[in-house]
Amino acid sequence: TKCLNKFSIVCSQGCRAVGQYHLICWDDGLQHEEVIRGNKTEWPTPGNGGTDMTDAIRYALKYKPSVIILCTDGGTCYPAKEEMGRCQLIIALTQDLPTPEWAKRVRIPDPGKKDKE
């Protein structure tokens, strides 16, 4: 989708700033994981439905990141703020759905989908 292309550009720019990052694709469980050390032009697009980002974020926290950037349509649950420790959560949303007040919210509209009303 166009949203995934936008997200990959943001990640590539971030990689230039930090050198590398973990790409974790999650839906109803771990779908794909790799360490990115440069530009990535092809992104996996797994999916099964039943998304719960709480488990994905808990999984990512094992790497002790200072920031987690989560790309989602927003139809998911999130962990409690206390579980995040010092890690900042940035949620890149393709739809205008609720997110935790303590997380940074960024809209990345997907032109192929309409927001839920």
Give residue-wise pLDDT tens across range 56-88: 999 999 999 999 988 888 888 899 999 999 999
pLDDT above 60 (res 1): no
What confidence score (pLDDT) does residue 104 get?
A: 94
Quick one: how far is CA 84 from the chain centroid? Answer: 15
- Residue keyed to tokens 């995040």: 84
SS3 17: helix
pLDDT tier at 117 (50, 70, 90 boundaries)?
very low
Strand-pairing partners, residue 88, are 67
CB of 74 closer than 8 Å to CB of 58:
no
What confidence score (pLDDT) does residue 18 get?
A: 74
Tokens of 57: 């974020």
